[in-house]
Amino acid sequence: MSPPPPSPDTPATSGTLLARPARDRAELLRRSRRLFGLGVLGLAVGLGYYTYNAKVVDPLHLYLGQIMIVLAALPSLLWARRARYGLPLFEVFMLTGLNTYAIPLLSGHQALKRFEPDAITTAALGVVLFQLAANLAFAFARAEPKRGDFWRTEIVSRNLPRYLGYGMAITTAYTVIILFTYWIPSELEGILRAACYGLGIIATFIQCRRWGQNQLPPGEKIAFTLLLVAQVIFSWAALFLVGGISIMLLGLLGYVSSSKKIPFVVLALVLPVVAVLHNGKSAMRLKYWENKAPPPTITDLPAFFSEWIDYGLDPEIKAKSEENNHLLERTSLFHIMCLVVSVTPERQPYLAGETYAQIPAQFIPRLFWPEKPPGHISTYTLAIYYGLQRPEDTVKTTIAFGLLTEAYANFGFFGLGALGTLMGLAFKLVSTWASESPVLSYGGMLMIVLMAWSFQTEFTLSIWLSSFVQGCVTVLGVPFFLRNFLK
């Protein structure tokens, strides 16, 4: 028996243009052309801006940086131009190359002053090689949509709004409890965190996707918005901006992927707030982390954020932040790439797969191997090997290396080419296999998890794969529980 067509509440993750009514096809074409035009305009403005304002010491770096921008943006432009609503997994993954590699090079990241121009050139060429390999593998790989129950059968087809509302409420409640109380025993913390944030990933993405398809009633919009804002605020109360930004980014991807529209009004409201909080973050961490001021209680949050905003708007703090700590530069991995390139293999031999050999151990449950190496073992290996940390330092601090730097540290340019080919091929296969899957099938859920992991740029391959598998187990396990125990 062939699988039933997707219901209105659980549309397929993508649909061909011919499968839709004529009015919908015309609207989709219009949105696709508009989004593509906006993308091309943004690309042209970016390239033009850096043509005249790039802070590079070698003209070759300007050209390499612009090539990076084009190769990072090209998949997203092609996705925008297609008359499909499919999830832009590979496209988002590649787009992270803008803030992690291209912009730090072109804006003259402060850390680049420590490296010779030749090292910067080599690092940039390595990034371009990775991008070319990934784009070519994704473009030329071939696969067919899967048709089994895993990919086509909806797990939750009734009472969807209720389940998604429960998911948002549970995740918000967990965020409050873990931040302001000691109710959860430490031995249960990891399990509950995975389960609750798995619910949050599902609920946030699908609700924003429904919103983009005009399927979210006004009452659900209000409830969802309040819970989402609460999650972001409570996550920021721990002085980690990245948690709240990740939640909002996941929601943005859900909305854009289903509507082919960019919510400019929302971005105009959110981005200035993030910039102000970023400016004041160092001063707040100095007070609450270094000087050990009492952390805020839930009733202290209005005063806490008021203080944070005051720091962010302070002219002296703002000027210092803009000079030394640009928001985009905080996500840079290019200077780490330059560090590894500058000493490998002349002073430090290639690792020849040492960090990749650490991957299998991460899939053994700690219950069966209590002495299992920590999840960030590959990151610690790289940090110690390149003299950035001592073994005892890794207990307190983790330095982001990213997939590309790890590939070069192990196998040089060959590693970068192989990694690009592998990632392009993997994203193409999964995207195609699930291209006709309802969002609430197991295949659709797999796509949501991969979407959430597609912008995790700071991980090594070991932690990326192991955390992705853990996320899949959690996210796919939640609907399995709902289907079998909450009928």
Sole residue written with tokens 């080599």: 122
Number of alpha carbons in the 13 Å side-chain half-sphere of residue 106: 25
Longest dimension (CA), the chain: 68
User: Could you report the per-residue pLDDT of 43-80, keeping only the tens digit for each?
Assistant: 999 999 999 999 998 999 999 999 999 999 999 999 99
What is the chain's mean pLDDT, rounded?
A: 85
For residues 155 and 480, is the Cβ–Cβ distance under 8 A?
A: yes
| Digit-coded pLDDT (tens) for 226-261 | 999 999 999 999 888 888 888 999 999 999 988 888
Q: Which helix (H) or strand (E) holds 354?
A: none
Q: What is the pLDDT of residues 398-455, one digit of tens each?
A: 788 999 999 999 999 999 999 999 999 999 999 999 988 888 888 888 898 998 888 8
Separation between Cα atoms, residue 148 and residue 171, nearest integer Å:
31
Each residue's pLDDT tens digit, 104-114: 999 988 888 89
Measured CA to CA in angstroms, residue 188 lies from 58, 192, 193, 467 at distances of: 53, 6, 8, 18
- DSSP-assigned letters across all residues of 396-461: T-----HHHHHHHHHHHHHHHHHHHHHHHHHHHHHHHHTTT-BTTBHHHHHHHHHHHHTT-TT--H
Q: How confident is the model at residue 371 (pLDDT cuts 50, 70, 90)?
A: confident
Alpha-carbon distances, residue 43 vs 50, 59, 167, 333 (angstroms):
11, 20, 37, 21
Percentage of the chain lying above the pLDDT 70 cut: 88
